[in-house]
Structure 1
Amino acid sequence: MTTIVVATHNEGKLAEMRRIMQDSFGDRAAGVTLVSAGSLGLPDPPETGTTFEQNALLKARDVAERTGMPAVADDSGLIVDVMGAAPGILSARWSGRHGDDAANNALLLAQIEDIPDEQRTARFCCAAALAVPGGAEGADGRRHPIAYAVTRTGEMPGVIIRAPRGEHGFGYDPLFVPDDQPERAGQGGGPLTSAEMTPEEKNAISHRGKALRALMPEVEKLLG
């Protein structure tokens, strides 16, 4: 049995990864046990990276070093094209208060209020990282805690609308209409925001799902 620690305090991420592993590995997925960093009482490391990839690696390496077990982590955010790389890695604290979704959404809408609809394109980006402990002894005679680490990325393109819609999801989901849509129509027969989609509909097209699925071949190597 292989145990992998998912660097999160959100148990919902474990359920998503289990589904992706089942789709990727079939019956072999039963050979993997997933546990969250939160269930082990591990702290969230400071996200000091300047890219999604750096922050995902930072979190995965921290958990792998603390536990001595393989670790998976992700980092994600929204990039609004007319704003360059923003909000980017600052997405969760764009208004200055970490995790204040209402304030973050209100600030974003105010910042692009005068931008025409056709120029309100955006994309959610995610980097997923796997860190594996057990590095060999180096030239300095010390055993290095991480054998190797890899990252994979995924994107979900779409547009930012002018007022929130939907009760599901979190963050900027009520403002974001993905390009990829389920078969059913949304309010007034139009496309759905991420917050109007079911978790299954969103996971099928999400940036996080794409990044995690791209990481699965690396995870599968741990199964032997």
Structure 2
Amino acid sequence: MTSATVVLATHNAHKVAELARILEGLVVALRSGRDLDLPEVDETGATFAENALLKARAAHAATGLAAVADDSGLVVDALDGDPGVRSARYAGEHGDDAANLRLVLERMRGVEDRGARFVCAAALVTQAGEWVREGTLDGTLVAEPRGTGGFGYDPLLVPQGELGRDTPRTCAELTPEEKDAISHRGAAFRALRPVVVEALAVQ
């Protein structure tokens, strides 16, 4: 059995915890960008895949280690796909979740079409090559944030599978295990997992 160190190219503590759960059982030592004091990368890509690769490439170049990264966000039908790749900085300042939520709700006030989805692109960069896998979670936006779990736009999106319940829950009202099982990030990284195994020869 072989072990290898993989860099999680993110400074977001919530993402580190989530990715560690999703990749649990894979025999690698996970190090975050914060652990290694990696610089933040300008997310200048036009797509989630481009941004994920920018971050993974930068982490790989800085450390020489295999690097995984994701770029993810909320895509709202009635907003022509916004916030999209600008999800983390939709209201201006990067990572201001509360301001981002308020802006989406303000722009959706009175809008009947509440269809939206979370999208994630997960990238792996090693000396041997680059790989990207994507995942989505379709759902509907609520009128007011609900729930204290998760992060980002989780309090706004009710997953499609919840709509048949008496009281549909937002992603922020799910347990971490329930969210991981259906999330866009979970889908993307589960698709990337066998690539990590093969690329690092981790059995």
TM-score computed with the length of structure 1 as normaliser: 0.83
Q: Which residue of 2 aligns with 1:55?
A: 51
Please, which of 94, 97, 101 is the counterpart of residue 98 of structure 1?
A: 94
Query: C-alpha separation between the residues in 1 aligned to 2:78 and 2:70?
Result: 25
Equivalent position of 1:223 in the other structure: 201
Distance 2:9 2:121 in 1: 13
Change (3 A) 1:21 1:109: closer
User: Identity across aligned pairs (percent)?
Assistant: 52
Answer yes or no: is 1:132 the counterpart of 2:132.
no
Residue of structure 1 equivalent to 2:107: 111
The structure with more radius of gyration: 1
Residue of structure 2 aligned with 1:6, choices 8, 26, 41 = 8
For the residues of structure 1 that align with 2:160 and 2:154, how far apart are their CA atoms?
13
How many residues align? The count is 199
1:152 aligned residue: 133
Aligned pairs for 1:179-190 (under 5 A) are: 179-181=160-162, 189-190=166-167
CA 1:10/1:97 → structure 2, altered by over 3 Å: closer, same or farther?
Answer: closer
Structure with the bigger percentage of helix: 1
Q: Note if 1:208 corresponds to 2:185.
A: yes
Q: Secondary structure at the match of 1:180?
A: helix
Rate the CA distance shift 1:108–1:13 in 2: closer, same or farther, 3 A: closer
Q: Structure 1, unaligned stretches of length 5 or more?
A: 134-146
Is structure 2 residue 49 aligned with structure 1 residue 68? no
Distance 1:15 1:182 in 2: 27
